[in-house]
Amino acid sequence: MKFVHIADMHFDSAFVNLSDKDILGDLRRLEQRKAFKKVIEYVKEENIPYLLISGDLYEHKYVKQSTIEYINNLFKTIPETKIFISPGNHDPYVKNSYYNKYEWNENVKIFTSNIETVEEKDVDFYGYGFDDFYCTNSDIENIQIKNREKINILITHATLDGATIDDREYNPLKRKNLEKLGFDYIALGHIHKLDYNTNIVYPSSTISLGFDEIGKHGMIIGDIEKDKLDLKFIQLDEENFKEIELDVTEIYSKEELIEKINELKFENNEYIKIILTGNRNFEINKYDILKYLINEKIIKIKDKTKIAYDLEKISNNNTLKGLFAKNMLKKLNEENIDFNQKEIIEKAIEVGLDALE
């Protein structure tokens, strides 16, 4: 029996932190649709009987009804395929969700927070969906499989072996406990990194949502029999996210920095984030620099540079500049200062010392 497993599509994601360029959010949303169409086309061409979607299909906060209709119209093109959706923390089955108020095509089954079993001829599907934006106790680890002679598949959105307090808010499950349940395949979502070394599988987010999701993204193709499982990953995202560090210590002007960045070479299918490091010798405005870059694939600049001034030395001068440096140095050395406050103070030092030249 064949199936396709995807998760974390995040349709209509705002992509607010993805890029320093406004257009990237729109482009990435178009790329989401392109990837999802590939999933549906594969299911249709290969006559896949089951499509498993393990949560976060869309963004509850941002999704438009036109997007829901787009998704459902694609589902209508594969009427012989049964589609199982387990809502996650970004698309929970709440009162005003499209899962609840929209009339989905008849081949779509949406699970709720009541663990359900859908019985097919040779396979039973167990599913659990979020009914809120958080889930601390789904009771999944207490499931009793009804018929162990059949293939048994669990579909849910969950954090596996989470180590942080936040992890406990999103259906925390233990691998060892899931293994004891005896499922032949467990289709998970929530973690956007590919993991399919066992029968407990994260397929990754269908496309990368940003620079914190470097790596391959796509769908899992499964061929399962009792006591036999073959899995294959197919990459759907045509774009790769790449970070490049550039040391500015020996660069002495905005113009020189722009020239250095424009000389860098990248592949056509890469989105690039430039991380500026080292000691800066001039004020850096990343938005100003972006305007003059030739390569449109450079979508974000992160400034991790430090000011090149020797504040200790300047603060020893009996001048207005020295007094300013002494006061700012005192602020920098205050206890409990966070990274953002430090950045603001360093920028103030840079502007102030330039003004006092």
Distance from C-alpha of 355 to C-alpha of 167, rounded to nearest angstrom: 48
Place of tokens 């293939």: 151
Q: Residue 18's pLDDT is what?
A: 83
The pairing of beta strand 270-277 with beta strand 279-280: unpaired
The angle at the Cα of 72, spanning 69 to 77, to the nearest 5 degrees, equals 125
Closest alpha carbon to 353 in 328, 335, 336: 328
Q: Which tens digits make up the pLDDT trace of 100-131? A: 999 999 999 999 999 999 999 999 999 999 99
Q: Which tens digits make up the pLDDT trace of 200-227? A: 999 999 999 999 898 899 999 999 999 8
Q: Which tens digits make up the pLDDT trace of 36-74? A: 999 999 999 999 999 999 999 999 999 999 999 999 999
The angle at the Cα of 341, spanning 298 to 19, to the nearest 5 degrees, equals 20
Hey, which residues does 195 pair with through a beta bridge? Answer: 202
**Percent of the chain clearing pLDDT 90 (strictly above):** 72
Query: For the chain, what is the radius of gyration of the CA atoms?
Result: 26
Place of tokens 């197919």: 234
Q: Residue 352's pLDDT is what?
A: 82
17 versus 259: which is more confidently predicted? 259
What's the DSSP call for residue 202? B
H or E element: which one contains 47?
none
- The answer on pLDDT for 300 being more than 70 is yes
**Percent of the chain clearing pLDDT 70 (strictly above):** 100
Expressed in angstroms, the distance from the first to the final Cα of the chain is 75
Q: Does the domain formed by 2-235 have CATH 3.40.50.2300? A: no
Q: Can you state the percent helix, strand and coil of the chain, rounding each to 5? A: 30, 25, 45
Distance from C-alpha of 59 to C-alpha of 11, rounded to nearest angstrom: 6
Alpha helix positions (H), 219-355? 254-262, 286-290, 311-315, 320-332, 339-355
Q: Which tens digits make up the pLDDT trace of 311-326? A: 888 888 888 888 888 8
Dihedral of CA atoms 285, 289, 290, 292 in degrees, nearest 10, equals 150
Sign of CA dihedral 9, 15, 18, 23: positive
**How would DSSP label each residue in 122-180?**
SEEEEE---SSS-BS---GGG---S-TTSEEEEEEE-EES--STGGGGB-EE-HHHHHH
H or E element: which one contains 44?
helix 24-45
Q: Residue 9's pLDDT is what?
A: 98
Q: Residue 338's pLDDT is what?
A: 82
**Could you tell me the pTM of the whole model?**
0.86
Average pLDDT, the chain: 93
| Contact status, residue 162 vs residue 175, Cβ threshold 8 Å | no
Q: Residue 357's pLDDT is what?
A: 66
Q: Residue 268's pLDDT is what?
A: 87
The structure tokens listed for 245 are: 């560090």
Distance from C-alpha of 183 to C-alpha of 125, rounded to nearest angstrom: 10
229 versus 210: which is more confidently predicted? 229
| Contact status, residue 143 vs residue 111, Cβ threshold 8 Å | no
Q: Which tens digits make up the pLDDT trace of 142-197? A: 999 999 999 999 999 999 999 898 889 999 999 999 999 999 999 999 999 999 99
The structure tokens listed for 356 are: 């006092």
Distance from C-alpha of 27 to C-alpha of 313, rounded to nearest angstrom: 49
Residue ranges per structural domain of the chain: 2-235, 240-355
Question: What amino acid occupies position 72?
Answer: N
Closest alpha carbon to 77 in 47, 115, 117, 99: 47
Q: Which of 17-31, 152-166, 201-215, 292-306 has the lowest mean pLDDT?
A: 17-31
